Every structure is written in C-alpha cells, then in structure tokens.
Amino acid sequence: MAPWTRLAFVPLLAQAVSSTPVADPRHDDAVHLDQRDSAPEGYDSPPYYPTPYGGWASDWTSAYAKAQQVVSNMTLAEKVNLTTGTGFYMGPCVGQTGSAPRFGIPNLCLQDSPLGIRNSDHNTAFPPGITVGATFNKDLMYTRGVGIGEEARGKGVNIQLGPAVGPLGRKPRGGRIWEGFGADPSLQGIAGALTIRGMQSTGAIATIKHYIGNEQEMYRMSSVITKGYSSNIDDRTLHELYLWPFAEGVRAGVGALMTAYNDVNSSACSQNSKLLNGILKDELGFQGFVMTDWLGHYTGVGSALSGLDMCMPGDGAVPLLGDSYWGSEMSRSILNGSVPVDRLNDMVTRIVATWYQMGQDEDYPLPNFSTNTEDETGLLYPGALFSPSGVVNQYVNVQGTHNITARAVAREAITLLKNEGNILPLGKNDSLQVFGTDAGGNSDGLNSCSDMGCDKGVLTMGWGSGTARLPYLITPQEGISNVTQNAKFYITDSFPSDVTVSANDIAVVFINADSGENYITVEGNPGDRTEAGLYAWHNGDDLVKAAAEKFSQVVVVIHTVGPILMEEWIDLESVKAVLVAHLPGQEAGNSLADVLFGDYSPSGHMPYTIPRSESDYPDSVGIINQPFGQIQDTYTEGLYIDYRHFINANITPRYPFGHGLSYTTFNFSNPSISVVTALNTAYPPTAPSHGSTPVYNDSIPAASEVSWSSTNFTRIWRYLYPYLDNPESITASDDYPYPDGYSTTPQPAPRAGGGQGGNPALFDVAFSVQVDVKNTGSRSGKAVAQLYVELPASLGLDTPLMQLRQFEKTGTLGPGQSESLTLEITRKDVSVWDVEVQDWKAPVNGEGIKIWVGNSVADTPVLCVVGGGCSVE
C-alpha cells in the first residue's frame, strides 16, 4: 500500500455523520430481534429459520458449481471479506466489498442509481422509472436497461443499485415514487424485469430494491429519538401488491436485492427472517444475494441468521469509526459458534455465484471513476484517518449512443391528457409565448445542486441517491428554439406584466412538482412532499391562471414526480391542452419538441391516477409525520391503492390510470381469446423438487485464518477488515441466545415455491388475447393496449374490480394501418393469494373471469369472457 499522504477529508466525514442514525436500540444480539414496539394487534413477523441455501435453480447450476470450487478453498478471512463492505468512503464506489485476490475476485464495486451511474462523468442521465413506466413500451424498458448496464460495466461497476420497484406508489406524496415505474404491481413487475434482463445482458449485476414497504421517506431510518417506521402489511396485500414486482425481478434472474430501512410488522427488513429466509429465499426461490441499504444494518448475528448476505457500506451504527456488525465481528461469530459456518458459506457462495452468473470473472473492468470527487486525482480512501491518494477518475466516456434511447424514452412517455380543438401539435409558424422557469436550465449551472437537491430549471429527475449527473441538458427552451424562431421566452415563475398578446398567440406554460430522498430537504420538503402537497411548485397554478386570463389558447407542460392537482385551472376555457412530460432526463427539450410540433404523436399513458382532490385518497396513504415513538404505518387500505381505490370508492378521478391521448385515433377490433394452459385446478400443480445445493465442510475453521499476525500488509486505519488480534483466544460455544423459533432444520418447501419467482406453473400462460388495433385518424402514432382482469366473486374474496396484468404497444402506425397485438396472461395473473392455504388460487377453468382491453382503466372497449368469447363496445 502507498504511504499515508493526507488527512481524511473532514467535511465529507461531517456530512456523513450528520445524515446518519445513531446506535439502534437493537444491539448485536438476536434476542433483541424479538423486542418489538407495539404494532397493531396481529401484525407481527413470525420467525423463519434457517436460511435456505442458494444454488438449486437450474439456470444457476454452472455458476454455483464454479462458486463451490472457489468457496471450498477460501479461508475465513476471504469469506468474510466478500460479505462486508470496506466502510463508508473507503474506495471509489458508494460501497465495495473486501476482495479475495487469490481467486481473482476484486473489491466488488456497488454504485447508484436506477437511472444511470451516479456521481460520475461522461455518463447518460436516463429518464427515471416513472417515465419509463409511462411509455408502456417493453422494447424501451429493455433497451434502457442495456444502456444502464453498459455504462455500469464501462465504469467498472460490478453491482448497479437499481431498478427500484419499491416504493410502489402507495403514497402520492411519497418522496421516491418517481424512481419506480408506476402505482401498479404488474407495471412495476414487467418494467422492472425487463430493466433487469437488459442490465444483466451486459454482465452488470442488477439490484432490485427496496425490499419492502418503504413507501414514505420521513422516519424510514432510526435516529436518536425514534425508530424507523413499521410498515404493517397483511399477507394478502403483501403478495398481491408489494411483493409482486419483486417476484417478477427474481423470476428475471436478478442477482442482488437491497433491503429497506424500515420495519415490516416491527421487524427491520434487513433482519426479518420471515421476509428474507421465508418469502424471498424459500417461496420466491431467490438465488442471488441480499444486501442492506446504506447503514441499514442493525445486528450482526441476528441479520446473518435472518438471511442477510452482504452489509453495506460495511459500517456499524455509526460510520467511519472502523467498526462493523460484520467484518471482524463476523469472524468472531464464526469462531465462537454463534453464526453457523454453513450460513457464511451460503452467503459467500451466493455472492461468488452471482459474479460468475454474469460472467464477471472474464475481463470485467475495475472501477475507473470515483464517486467521491470529480478531480482526476484524490484520496483512495476518503473515509480513512489517513489515506493514500492517486488517480481516481479516468473520465471514461460510456455514453455510446444511449442519448438516442434516453430521448426515445422521454418522448414516448409524454402523455397528452387534453387537446381541445386539436391545438396540438403546434405549427412551426405559430406565435408562441413560453412561461416558467421549468422551461429553462438551472440558473446556478448544470449539476450545481448535489444529487439534484433543488428545483431549479426544467425538472429532469427527483433528488437524492436515485440520480445521475447530467452530461448535458437540452432544456425545453433549447428544444423549442431549435424548431421555431417564433417563440418568445419568459423564464420566470411570476407572470410578467409586460406581455403583449395577439389574438392567435399561444401560451406554453411550464410547471413542475419535485420530491426526493429524505437526506435532502428542498423548499421545506424532506423527501416527501410534506410542504408542497400535490400542488405544482413555485406557484405554478397561478402562472397557468395568469396566462389563461391573457391568452385564449394555453398549453400546459408538466414535469412531475407523481400525482399533481390541476383543478385550479384544468377546466378554464383557454386551457386547451395539457402534456405530462414526467421526468425526462438529459433529453428534456428534444423529446418535448418532438411531440409538441408533431414529429411524433404522443403515446405515453399515466402510470398513476390524477385525482381531483387529495381527499380522494384513503387517509391511510398520507405521510405520517410523528417525531416521537415508532410510527406504525398500517396498510389498512389493503389492496385499494391508486385506481383500485378510486374504482372501489366510486370516485371519478380527473384522469384515470392509463389515460393518454394521441394526435390520431385508434380503434380496437376483432378480439379473440384462446386458452393456452387450462386451469384444471384452483391451485397450481405441485412444483418439481429443488435441485441440489453446494455441500461444504462446515466445521469451524482455524482461528489463524483471521489473525492479524498472519498478514503483513499496511493497514489503513478505519478500513474494515476481517482480521482479529489474538483470535486463538475465542472458543466456540452453543450458549448464544437464539431468537424464539430459531432452528437449523430446513423448513418444508413452501407450496407456492419451486422456481425463481415461485412455482413455475404460476407463470404458465393461461390465456392469450388477440386484438387488432387500427389507426383511424390522419396522423401516424403508436397505440397501447392495456389488459385488465376482473376476477369473479366466486373466489369468495373482496378483490379490486379491475387489475392491470398486461400491456403491449404497437409500432408506428400510419393512417389506416393496423397491427395485431397478442397479450398473454399467466395463471398468477388471474389468481388471488389464499392466506389460509398459502398458495395462489385461480377460478377453475377460468370460470367467470372477464378480461378487458383498452386505452385506460376507464376506457376498455374490448371485453372477453373466459368461455364466452369477446366483443367490442
């Protein structure tokens, strides 16, 4: 190692400490796993032990065989290294594991975010998940995933921290709902799985997150005065809503999963044995590895027994002190017998097998960027007391032609809500007057707000760790100016007094609504939109109203993280058109100009409902702001979130889920339904039994394997190592106070399990629906067919009337052109979770299932009745 050269970067350290929870009351002692604050009666998390081994799924066989060869030869130090981060700011990435150089395994680099490479350069800032969801375009979902994976690989990121499918969008004010794909489990599941497949096709490991119930930002983490909130979720709601997209991600072969900070049923997600051992690894058959969120690690032995495989960034309750719940303490827990050796072997095998599964043993680059600085040289370990320095940024350009994908996603997401008198598309000769700071750039400079923690200029993404720096930004002003000379710009949020209006002038008004992650507060909003509510920021409603008073033709463009209220102006006579451009990323202006001037018809659809009032939502989905005592966030609305709720409560929203107009019109015709796999039984047939898993010598290794005296390298102070002084003094015992229900005898295979994502029979295609879509208008465009399932009352359960289960988008159809679409739905798509039987239950032979296809949840002209054929309204 290079000699100590510089003091640690003190401001960085201070920043880290100030945003960090202090010691959690749950000490490193599994007994405390059972100490719970009072959740409502019945909500508790039953014990589920031991952790099932990975390796039994057939498409992981060869990766596990390679991993077994390596792990069987590893010392305890090497094994512990791979499970534990090296510490906060202890390397180039937001997190990195220790290494095992004898086997060619480097420090594995983990880096944000779900929309691109965070804190880097020469990267693409893709549009975030909510924008991707709004495209309803599967090809783009996959292609964007490939782009993110290529950029991760190019920068040397082994494990990219995305996609996010939790939060699901339960809370309209929730700070991070824009990182996921929309307020529906199938939309999240399909988009998330395609993103994972795309990312992992490049060799990068994708990370599905945050598991689970992380639906608000405030009080997600523990602090001096309170514990992180508890999401109290009943079993059926968990399975049918929040777990659904995770199951799809596991089915897609995702390599890594990140736990949430919060509790579920008063048991922290990173040490909840029911969630990790039971549901994720047994029922869903997850073959990859589980990591904590950053500093979301609360106990050493307890989390290991509960199914955690990797702690990030490695530190204990307080970062930068050089201690960890794992690292050397994991070595101690193995030597003293508290963590069974087979558990550690399984953790390491899962990590190494995932590395092989993605082919990272062959020519995978090492990190060539630094998340800590933009300078070429810098500290190698900024969190260390003393750190060597060196070249940390090689400024590798990884953008390729991803700008084309970024623009296509942003363009295809643009959702036309209203277009009276076909005011859109605009003509290049139209006289335009453009208002709003959201049409311009950040007046303080591109990327001037760290992690996008401000709302200045066009809103390209929310704020927090789910961001990436913009390599460049095409603002709406630039995008529009590139197309027309006839636009005048007022980059201000207060309507100017000196505007002169001619009769044919069109006002284009830009407004936005922002949110983000809890560690940054923007304009009084600590992540969640506590201050702004669901209203436009910066008095955007007033700006629209002022324009609507002066102009007879107003077009409103909205950049928003989620649901936004439009009631103050939507029915005004002069507000002719509304475009929701979601969060467009770097190609904001070009993608908008593409649609505004009619080079493309809009083809986006709302990935959530637009309400008329916030009181339209159930009370239980409000942000809970309670500074003392643990928040009990009980999901009393059950399955009824977003459109499921609006329909159930018979509330007509302003714009329904799935809504989106075009410049042309489409007609559905000639629908048909066929049975592909008959649902002969209510429950799926028994799954085939598991394949074998690696077998190791599980005796406690020699203490010398983790002894400092066995090493001779220069130690970096505060860096996290697996080594101990005098480990020979540790004796194994069996007097550890294991939690109630702890067992080392494997549980019987859950009947809903059997493959990745669950019983493979759940994913048999049950029905195939064909429908022809014809462009009946006079312009080119793309149509989306959304398929909603209505399950029969005969299932005996209160079930949402309409549930999106599939969608397809046409290619570009010219006037008069048609395309035939096929929409396939699985057994699981028409099943409910039977809490008693613990399995998915479908109507036998699909009796009574209705399948609706259309343009939105409120506009479904096609109806197919299983056994009864199809009709068009």
Catalytic residues: 293
> Which residue's structure tokens are 């509330």?
651
DSSP per-residue letters across 262-299: SEETTEEGGG-HIIIIIIIIIIS---SEEE--TT----
Cβ neighbours of residue 503 closer than 8 Å, sequence gap 6 or more: 552
Shortest distance in whole angstroms from residue 41 CB to ligand NAG: 9
Closest contact distance (angstroms) between CB of 254 and ligand NAG is: 20
Does residue 765 bind ligand NAG (CB under 6 A)?
no
Among 79, 176, 197, 332, binds ligand NAG (CB under 6 A): 332
**Which of 156, 172, 228, 476 is close enough to bind ligand NAG by CB under 6 A?**
156
Would you count residue 753 as binding ligand NAG (CB under 6 A)?
Answer: no
Residue 867 CB coordination number (10 Å): 12
Q: Which of 667, 677, 693, 818 binds ligand NAG (CB under 6 A)?
A: 667
Q: Which two tokens stand for residue 779?
A: 């312009």
Q: Is the peptide bond before 313 cis (omega within 30 degrees of 0)?
A: yes
Q: Look at residues 695, 750, 754 and name the one whose alpha carbon lies nearest to residue 57.
A: 754
Q: Does residue 541 sit in helix, strand or coil?
A: helix
Rounded to whole angstroms, how far apart are CA atoms 170 and 173? 9
The binder of ligand NAG chosen from 492, 776, 818, 838 (CB under 6 A): 776
List residues bridging with 840 in a β-sheet.
Answer: 833
Q: Is 844 helix (H, G, I), strand (E, B) or coil?
A: helix
- Choice between 615 and 871, CB closer to ligand NAG: 871
The torsion defined by the Cα of 293, 111, 187 and 142, in degrees rounded to 10, comes to -160
Q: Based on the shown chain and the rule CB under 6 A, indicate whether residue 323 belongs to the binding site for ligand NAG.
A: no
- Is 426 a binding residue for ligand NAG by CB under 6 A? The answer is no
Cβ(270)–Cβ(307) below 8 Å: no
Nearer to ligand NAG, 569 or 721 (CB): 721
Contact between 234 and ligand NAG per CB under 6 A? yes
DSSP H/E element including 419: strand 415-419
Q: Which stretch binds ligand NAG (CB under 6 A): 125-133, 365-373, 533-541, 655-663?
A: 365-373
Q: In whole angstroms, give the CA distance from residue 144 to residue 288.
A: 22
- Count residues contacting ligand NAG (CB under 6 A)? 58
From 51-59, 101-109, 132-140, 818-826, span contacting ligand NAG (CB under 6 A): 101-109
Under the binding rule (CB under 6 A), the answer on residue 401 touching ligand NAG is yes
300 binds ligand NAG, rule: CB under 6 A: yes
Residue of 83, 84, 86, 277 that binds ligand NAG (CB under 6 A): 86
Give the integer Cα–Cα distance in Å for 710 and 742. Answer: 35
Q: Phi/psi of residue 199, each to 5°?
A: -60, -50
Task: Figure out which of the listed residues 13, 77, 311, 511 binds ligand NAG, where binding follows CB under 6 A.
Answer: 77
Check binding of 839 to ligand NAG (CB under 6 A): no
Instruction: Kindly indicate which of the ranges 54-62, 94-102, 380-388, 624-632 contains the residues binding ligand NAG, using the contact rule CB under 6 A.
Output: 94-102
Residues of 495-509 as b/e, b for ≥16 C-beta within 10 angstroms? Answer: beeebeeeeebbbbb
**Type and span of the H or E element at 550:** helix 540-550
For residues 239 to 268, the per-residue mask of contacts with ligand NAG, x marking binding by CB under 6 A and - elsewhere, is -------------------------xx---
Residue 786 interacts with ligand NAG (CB under 6 A)? no
For position 380 contacting ligand NAG by CB under 6 A, the verdict is no
Query: Does 100 contact ligand NAG by CB under 6 A?
Result: yes
Q: Quick one: which of 18, 497, 500, 733 contacts ligand NAG (CB under 6 A)?
A: 733
Q: Does 729 bind ligand NAG (CB under 6 A)?
A: no
The correct pick among 14, 366, 649, 676 for binding ligand NAG (CB under 6 A) is: 366
Alpha helices by DSSP H, 336-441: 341-357, 402-413
**Window 498-557: residues binding ligand NAG (CB under 6 A):** none
Residue 862 interacts with ligand NAG (CB under 6 A): yes or no: no
Q: Is 870 in the site for ligand NAG (CB under 6 A)?
A: no
Is position 45 an interface residue for ligand NAG (rule: CB under 6 A)? yes
Judged by CB under 6 A, does residue 590 bind ligand NAG? Answer: yes
Rank residues 93 and 564 by Cβ distance to ligand NAG and give the closer one. Answer: 93
The answer for residues whose C-beta is within 8 angstroms of residue 76's C-beta and 6 or more apart is 331, 334, 335, 344, 701, 702, 705, 706, 722
Closest by CA position to 618, among listed 132, 262, 237, 244 = 237
Task: Select the residue interacting with ligand NAG from 9, 43, 49, 142 (CB under 6 A).
Answer: 43
| Interatomic CA distance for residues 272 and 306, integer angstroms | 6
Nearest approach in angstroms of CB 701 to ligand NAG is: 12
404 binds ligand NAG (CB under 6 A): yes
The window from 132-140, 188-196, 329-337, 677-685 that contacts ligand NAG (CB under 6 A) reads: 329-337
| Token pair in block for residue 345 | 């072997």
Q: What is the DSSP string of 316-365?
A: -SSTTSS--SSTHHHHHHHHTTSS-HHHHHHHHHHHHHHHHHTTTTTTPP
427 sits near ligand NAG (criterion: CB under 6 A): yes
DSSP string, 75-130: -HHHHHHHHBB--TT-SSSSEEB--BGGGTB-PPEEE--TTS-TT-SS------HH
- Across the beta sheet with 506-513, the strand order is 415-419, 575-580, 554-560, 506-513, 432-435, 487-490
Q: How far is the CB of 559 from ligand NAG (least distance, A)?
A: 18
Task: Indicate which single residue of 113, 231, 336, 664 sits in contact with ligand NAG (rule: CB under 6 A).
Answer: 336
- Identify the CA nearest to 750 among candidates 840, 842, 843, 844: 840
- Under rule CB under 6 A, residue 333 binds ligand NAG: yes
Does 699 participate in binding ligand NAG (rule CB under 6 A)?
Answer: no
Residues 6+ apart with CB under 8 A from 771: 668, 669, 670, 671, 672, 785, 820, 821, 823, 853, 862
* Candidates 123-131, 333-341, 790-798, 836-844; binding stretch for ligand NAG (CB under 6 A): 333-341
Q: Which residues bind ligand NAG (CB under 6 A)?
A: 28, 42-45, 69-70, 72-73, 75, 77-78, 81, 86, 98-101, 103, 107, 154, 156, 234-235, 264-265, 274-275, 300-301, 329, 332-333, 336, 338, 365-366, 368, 394, 396, 401, 403-404, 407, 427, 429, 474, 482, 590, 667, 669, 712, 733, 735-736, 774, 776, 872
